[in-house]
Chains A and B, each alone.
Chain A
């Protein structure tokens, strides 16, 4: 159909040129993704991939189940494909390009299936195809039946070569696709998007591609770098770091969703890009065969990552003790999960104030929301003279009239001054 005719049928049509480079890029990414099914994938540009699956059929419990697995995976990536299986690479490719979803395992069936395919499979010049049609040929079997030297003389020996390889009379080794070292993918949105949901959808597709890429190499991602490109301003970029390697696309999608929800977009996004350069080995137990099986440590890491993705890394912390006599130095925040070396102290309150708070003094007694009654015991802490943050204090437990218990101290360098430092929670 011409563009003009299409406009007559639908006046609000948006016409976009085909982008050969983007298509080639997508094909290569799909090839990398297919590495999960076989180590031998090759490209057949512009639109086909060849997977040598002889060794994988048993693993998936039969050819039909393997093919349905591939189809389901492609659908999750947002692609539809025609899938054909045959003993020769060209045979499978031609059947697929002609829309025949064949499952052929033996040579006789291959010959029967290829016989009826039209001549355009051969990819001849229009003139040569015309010539063959002039001789009354319509299908591949017609060509095969013709004397070999006649074909070679009329349209060139390469056509014979193609036919021989397709029908299995000649070996047809294919160069294996070598997946790129890093994962880098970019996807244009069908329309500029401002809503998070609209962004999540293409990112989800890229994450599913990533999962195949990682599965094929026995790796997990350690970080995701995401860029959202608009028309004018520089791209919005963010990086999600993972505590443990992962290639579970659903989990990664949930992380990205939470990060997106706290993102403010300056302008509509036109395309999204995902890049992964940090990997770590990830054994087969985390692969899709055992999806949902996690160790407690993995579950802890996943919750931590979800919280950090949504709230920010600094909003989620761990706690540790520190060997220091000064109460404010006897603890610190750490990466969650880090262990403490210093012992605890049982005479300390469970709540500490971020900074000691100066208290009023009324009638010679510290006062905070009411007069505080000091208990008789006192603990003197003198420490820190070596690092300039010296503390010389007498700590007391003080009771508020309403029954609360506070941890207060008197600064020995200014004995009239009282501070509130903690609460016995």
Chain B
């Protein structure tokens, strides 16, 4: 039997390949290279740890969200800290008709909404902004994300040790327009980082013709 044929057997794995968990490309080659399977883990929970909003945390997910919004499931934003701004989302290619903005009142409803949305099988992605979450919640949500086939992303201030999330990344501003990303945990790999990711913090799609009264130059990725 030739080596090629052995490698084609479904029960043979190559050590250099990550297990075949489905992923969603992040749209950033430098990041995809670090993520197991070459993208955000689909059907699983990703923890995003950041000190404050406004450093490009949403921008990082936009290419994946734009891609998922063209499918037939919702993209749910649960308890976002500010208003997700429709013109910027639309410019990045997000189909707004797939967006679900959820504003739960209390903590119980908040956590229920996250779990229900993850589990329903009706959401391609569930973005949740949470505080003071116990590992037990994360475990439930991880299972819900697996059951519902959803990309679950939780934005939180603290790094929760022993989080059962499939992927845990920490974000911090870097110089210029870059973002410093540290992989705290990934399946089938070691922690990495911080890695400097270059990208424009504005969406950087040319504005529609005749939009603004006094135009400024289209923004470019300045160093």
Contact = CB atoms under 8 A, between A and B. Distances in A.
B120 A353 contact: no
A378 interface: yes
B184 interface: no
Interface string B195-209: 000000111111110
Contact of A405 (B84, B92, B201): B201
B48 to A, nearest CB: 11
A336 B56 CA distance: 26
Given A316-B100, A380-B213, A350 B73 contact: no
22 contacts: A296-B122, A300-B72, A304-B74, A310-B112, A311-B103, A311-B104, A317-B100, A319-B101, A346-B203, A348-B88, A352-B82, A352-B85, A377-B217, A377-B219, A379-B212, A379-B214, A379-B216, A383-B213, A404-B53, A404-B173, A423-B54, A425-B59
Contacts of A302: 120, 122
Given A311-B105, A330-B86, A406 B54 contact: yes
B53 A348 contact: no
Nearest to B123: A303
Contacts of A304: 74, 100
B205 A346 contact: yes
B97 A337 contact: yes
B123 A346 contact: no
A311 B90 contact: no
B57 interface: yes
B101 A424 contact: no
A320 B86 contact: yes
Contacts of A425: 53-59, 82
A281 interface: no
Size band of the interface chain B makes with A: 35 or more
Interface string A286-325: 0000000000110110111011001100011111111001
Contacts of B88: 344-346, 348-350
A299 B102 contact: no
Contacts of A332: 86
Interface string A357-382: 00000000000000000000111111
Across the A-B interface, give the 6 residue pairs with the lowest CB-CB distance, nearest first.
A403-B173, A344-B90, A344-B91, A423-B54, A346-B205, A331-B86
B213 A351 contact: no
B96 A402 contact: no
A126 interface: no
Interface of A: 262, 296-297, 299-300, 302-304, 306-307, 310-311, 315-322, 325, 327, 330-333, 336-340, 342-354, 377-383, 397, 400, 402-406, 422-425
Interface string B90-114: 1110001111111111000100110
Given A311-B104, A344-B205, A404-B173, A319 B214 contact: no
Given A348-B87, A353-B82, A339 B55 contact: no
Interface of B is mostly: loop
Interface in B119-159: 120-123
A325 B211 contact: yes
B91 A423 contact: no
Contact of A299 (B89, B120, B217, B219): B120
Q: Chain A contact residues: over half helix, strand or loop, or mixed?
A: mixed
Nearest to B52: A404
Given A402-B173, A404-B173, A331 B83 contact: yes
Nearest to B95: A339
A257 to B, nearest CB: 12
Given A300-B72, A425-B58, A351 B84 contact: yes
For A297, A403, A405, the residue with the greatest tally of chain B CB atoms inside 10 Å of its CB is: A403
A278 to B, nearest CB: 23
A424 B202 contact: yes
A400 B201 CA distance: 14
B172 A350 contact: no
Contacts of A403: 55, 172-174
B58 A350 contact: yes
B136 to A, nearest CB: 21
A348 B72 CA distance: 27
A318 B96 contact: yes
Contact of A424 (B56, B87, B206): B56
Nearest to A337: B97
Contacts of A297: 72
B97 A351 contact: no
B182 interface: no
Q: Report which residue of A262, A331, A422 has the largest number of chain B beta carbons within 10 angstroms of its beta carbon.
A: A331
Interface in B158-210: 172-174, 201-208
Nearest to A298: B122
B23 interface: no
Contact of A300 (B74, B82, B203): B74
Contacts of B10: none
B102 A340 contact: no
A291 to B, nearest CB: 15
Most buried by A among B56, B105, B117: B56
Contacts of B102: 307, 311, 315-316
Given A343-B208, A377-B216, A424-B54, A307 B73 contact: no
